[in-house]
Structure 1
């Protein structure tokens, strides 16, 4: 068995201290919270992050060296999911399941992410763990795509900073998921 930890990035800077253009950087509080979470995480055999500064900074603040930055596509797909729509939905994971079942652009985005997740897991030895750091709105639909038959209503609302999931993988199949809630 292998495990894959998927984590939404930590808290970012706000106001005038927020960077322009390249994506926001972590706030001092975001760094502190990520350090605290990282102390409770297992060693990671492979770490992949998205291409925004907050993804890389979160992994480093968690205490992990980054093996790869990936420019994976956004979960915000024109005509299907607008930016931060998941915060307006009563049951976002249920809504994502319906959108994915339609087989349109969001389905393709989720499948591309899953391809990366599986590739990352291929780099992990048996009994090892990998880490993915990404953004909200991208993680949620991929979790649903990985576990299409799960009780998505039980997963609750959208993922806040440093929330995510631990996924168990056996023989290349996603076999178990624990959705992690709450900041450290």
Structure 2
């Protein structure tokens, strides 16, 4: 459950974002609560798998890593299970993008540990070092696509 402060922050953050043509959330109640507090109706909630995998990525590891996006790039190469999770999420993201008009926005609300590896999977040749630290609450990224190909990633803090 979001706290009153979390609702206030989500509401404030949502005021700076454009209208979304499609809103997709992860399976946690707080994902849906965040989207609603931001001012968006949720179009779909998906029970996707966690990005935390025992022996690969433990809960909140990404916040302890000095270069989390580079670390995820390495892990995506070496871990079939993490690669599978990231591809599952990415397929949902692409489906959401496919539901908006050209130039429109799809909004995905998820959690840390699930967002970072998908960003790397979406842009395997991206500037992972330049993306900085792991994402915190109400942080994310803007991805631009040409069909199913991610052509740019801008980290939003």
Indicate which of 109, 118, 139 corresponds to 1:142: 118
**2:128 maps to what in 1?**
152
**2:138 maps to what in 1?**
162
C-alpha distance in 2 between matches for 1:141 and 1:160: 14
Which structure 2 segments of 5+ residues have no match? none
* Higher RCO structure, 1 or 2 (CA under 8 Å, sep 6+): 1
Farther off after superposition, 65-74 or 101-110: 101-110
C-alpha distance in 2 between matches for 1:29 and 1:154: 30
Give runs of ≥4 in structure 1 deviating > 6 Å: none
Task: Choose 1 or 2 for highest CA Rg.
Answer: 1
Indicate which of 58, 61, 74 corresponds to 1:82: 58
**1:116 maps to what in 2?**
92
Alignment of 1:90-109 (within 5 A): 90-109=66-85
What TM-score results when the alignment is normalised by the length of structure 2? 0.97
Indicate which of 16, 19, 25 corresponds to 1:43: 19
- Indicate if the aligned counterparts of 2:56 and 2:79 stay in contact, CA closer than 8 A: no
**1:69 maps to what in 2?**
45
Which structure 1 segments of 5+ residues have no match? 1-24
- Matched residue count: 157
Farther off after superposition, 109-118 or 170-179: 170-179
Q: 1:103, CA displacement in angstroms?
A: 4.2
What is the DSSP-based 3-state SS (H/G/I as helix, E as strand, rest coil) of the residue aligned with 1:56?
helix
